[in-house]
Structure 1
Amino acid sequence: MTQALRKITTFAEFVSWKPDGESYELHDGVVVKMAQPLGGHEEVTGFLSIQLAVQCYQSCLPYLIPKTALVKPIDSESAYSPDVLILNQTNLMNEPLWQQESTVSYAESITLVIEVVSSNWRDDYYKKYGEYEGIGIREYWIVDYLGLAAKKFVGDPKQPTISIYSLVDDEYQVRQFRGDDCIQSPTFPELNLTAKQIFQAGS
C-alpha cells in the first residue's frame, strides 16, 4: 500500500470514481491506492491464472476468471480486487452488482480467491483473511513468493510460503506449502504443481 486517502467513501461513490488503469480498493470506506506490483508479482499471478484456467477447461467446470472484478462483503463499504478470482458462473445471475459493477458478494459465486503478497502483506493475512472468511469463500490462497510476512506466517527463518485456507464449519483451516511440496487444493484436486514451480514463476 502506497497511499490511503482518508475520506469516507461509499461503495457507489467508489465504483463511479475508480479510474481505469490504476489499482484501488475500498477498505471500510477508505480509498486505498495499491502499490504498483513488481514484475515477479505479475509473473506469479499470470502463471497461476493460466494453470487454473487449464484446470477449469480440462475438468469442464463452469468457472470464470475475470480480469478486474471486485469482491464486496455484504453490508459493508469495502471492495477488494484479488490477484486471481475464480467465479462460479452459474450463480452470477443472483449477484445484484454483477452486470453493472462487475462485483460479487455471495459465497456461492466465489469459488477461489488468491492474493499474491507484496509490501501490504498485513492486508492479505489479517484484513482480507477475516473478510473472505466472513463471506464464506471456500478457499483462499496467500502466495508469499518472497517470504515477506511475519515469521509466524512464513517460518523462521523466513521462506517463500503458500498458505491455503479452506473453510471448515465456517472457519478457515490452513495448510502451508514450501519447496517441493505438492499443492493440495480442495477446489482443484487434480492440480499437479509444487510450491517451487509457483515461486520460480516470479524469480
Structure 2
Amino acid sequence: MFTQAKVNRNVLEEEDMKLMTLEEFLDWYPDGYGRFELHNGVIITMQPTGTHEQVAGFLALELGVEIKRLNLPFFIPRQGIIKAIDSDKSGYIPDVMVLDSNALINEPMWKKRSTITQGISIKLAIEVVSTNWQDDYLMKLGEYEKIGIGEYWIIDYLGLGGRRYIGDPKQPTISVYYLVEGEYTVELFRGQDLVRSLAFPELNLVAEQIVQIGQ
C-alpha cells in the first residue's frame, strides 16, 4: 500500500462538504494522472516511493512470467479498483492484482469502470507495506476477506507491521493469507523460506529475494 496524502482535504475543497460514492469517485478519477483510492467516501492519493515501486514491479514480473509459462487464463491489470462489498463509498487499488480472465464476464463494472466487485475474479491481491501499515494489516485484510479474495499477500520488506502480525522482534516478513471457509488463515515467510502460493503452486520465490529488492 502506498504512503497516503488526503487529496480532497487539500485540493478539492468542494468535496469536503460531502462524502463521495464510488460512482462519483470513478467519474471524478483523473485519467492518466496519479493514483487514488476511496476510503469511506474520502479520496486518498497514493504516493509510492521508488523502492516500493521496485518491489511491486518485481512481483508483477515474476507472476507474469509464471502466467505465461503455464498459459494460465490470468492477467495483471495496470490498474484496477476493488469495490468494497458492503459499502458504496470505498474502493481499493492493490499494488499488484491477478485477475481471472474467464470470470470477468460476470463483472458488471469491469468493461467501463475497470472495477471488480466479486472476490472470485481475483486470484491474488498484493499490498507492499509503507508507513501506513495499519491499512494493509487491518482495513484491507478485513475488506479482502469479506469480498472473498482467495489469496492476499502483505509484503513487509522493512518489518513495519505490528508485532501481533509479524512477531517480536520485528523483521521483514511476507504474510500470505489464504481464504478457508470464508476466513483467512495466514503463513509467515522470512529469509530462505519458499513462499507458498495456492494460486501459483509452482512459483519458485524465496522471501529473501523479495526483501532484497527493497533494501
Residue 184 of structure 1, CA deviation: 0.5
Residue 157 of structure 1, CA deviation: 1.9
Question: How many residues are paired up?
Answer: 202
Residue 4 of structure 1, CA deviation: 6.1
Query: 1:141 maps to what in 2?
Result: 153
User: For 1:57-136, what aligned pairs fall within 5 Å after superposition?
Assistant: 57-76=68-87, 77-136=89-148
- What CA distance in whole angstroms lies between the structure 1 residues aligned with 2:103 and 2:201? 22
Deviation per CA, 1:98-140, whole angstroms, max 9, x where unpaired?
Answer: 0111001112211110000011111100111111000111000
Moved over 3 A (4+): 4-7
Query: 2:23 maps to what in 1?
Result: 12
Residue 87 of structure 1, CA deviation: 0.3
User: For 1:35-74, what aligned pairs fall within 5 Å after superposition?
Assistant: 36-74=47-85
Give the alignment partner of residue 174 of structure 2, picking from 134, 144, 162: 162
Deviation per CA, 1:135-194, whole angstroms, max 9, x where unpaired?
Answer: 111000000011111122222221110000000110000000011111001111111111
CA contact (8 A) 2:85 2:146 kept: no
Query: 1:3 maps to what in 2?
Result: 6
Query: 1:191 maps to what in 2?
Result: 203
Alpha-carbon spacing, 1:180–1:144, altered in 2? closer, same or farther (3 Å): same
- What CA distance in whole angstroms lies between the structure 1 residues aligned with 2:105 and 2:181? 27
- What CA distance in whole angstroms lies between the structure 2 residues aligned with 1:81 and 1:49? 14
Unaligned runs of 5+ in 2: 9-15
Tell me the amino acid that sits aligned with residue 30 of structure 1. V
Deviation per CA, 1:39-69, whole angstroms, max 9, x where unpaired?
Answer: 1111110000000011111111100100111
Residue 30 of structure 1, CA deviation: 1.6
TM-score normalised to structure 1 length? 0.95
Query: 1:32 maps to what in 2?
Result: 44
Residue 23 of structure 1, CA deviation: 1.6
- What CA distance in whole angstroms lies between the structure 2 residues aligned with 1:38 and 1:28? 25
CA contact (8 A) 1:42 1:202 kept: no
Percent identity between the aligned chains?
A: 52
- What CA distance in whole angstroms lies between the structure 2 residues aligned with 1:31 and 1:108? 26
Alpha-carbon spacing, 1:171–1:57, altered in 2? closer, same or farther (3 Å): same
TM-score normalised to structure 2 length? 0.90
Residue 75 of structure 1, CA deviation: 4.3
